Structure 1
């Protein structure tokens, strides 16, 4: 369950003395409904994806990573689309804030605490609602802020 991963990320960050957590977001079948067009990017959000991402990507304790297999020529269009919708990502397919150490090699796989990815079990029709509920709960915001 994605909300458990989110809670665990903050527990881990506190235990490590970190002031931020790292979240990776896939686009297709996770944030946006695919259109399978090679001509134009899809722009239909899943319910609550837009509103939830607006909250998440503005948090100072979350580094947002766009984690996508989109073609390079599509990325500019996606970034513009997300910015027009008040959603901002810190990095694309990388996390330069966490470098390889003895505990892990992060040159080819970016480090993240939470993964929003349909192929990893994220269900956009159910999970965005659960994440929104968590992100807007007083208890959660008291703990993390």
Structure 2
């Protein structure tokens, strides 16, 4: 469950005196229900996804990365759609805040602490409620 990754990220940030953690968010089957249209981006949120992302967007200790395979023109539409709903992302498909060093090469794989991705086990019908509980603490 995603809550384990969130708790670990917050604990690690406290232990290492970091001012933020980095969370990567897929769109389809994670935040938004897909419509498989070639002409119109889907805009139906999963239950509680919008509320959770609005709360996360207000946190100064979370840097949000939109992590998607969407085409560039679609990404612009998604970013505008999310902004209309008071959901904000700091980066798209990358994390320029973390540079490659001896212990990690981040030129092709961006650094993040938490991954919201259906293919990695995120369940949009169950996990958003737990995320809300954690980010309200």
Range class of TM-score, shorter chain: over 0.9
For 1:47 and 1:5, locate their aligned partners in 2 and report how far apart those are by CA, in whole Å.
21
What's the CA shift for 1:15? 1.7
Q: TM-score, normalised by structure 2?
A: 0.98
- Unaligned segments of structure 2, at least 5 residues: none
CA distance in 1, matches of 2:135, 2:9: 13
Distance 1:41 1:29 in 2: 13
The number of equivalent residue pairs is: 137
1:88 equivalent to 2:88? Answer: yes
Residue 23 of structure 1 corresponds to which residue in structure 2?
A: 23
The alignment yields a C-alpha RMSD, in angstroms, of 0.7
Describe the superposition over 1:70-119 as per-residue Cα deviations: whole angstroms up to 9, x where unpaired: 00110110000000000000000010010101110000010000000000
- Structure 1: gaps (5+ residues): 141-145
**Structure 2 match to 1:49:** 49
Deviates more, 1:10-19 or 1:78-87: 10-19
Separation (CA, whole Å) in 2 of partners of 1:68 and 1:90: 14
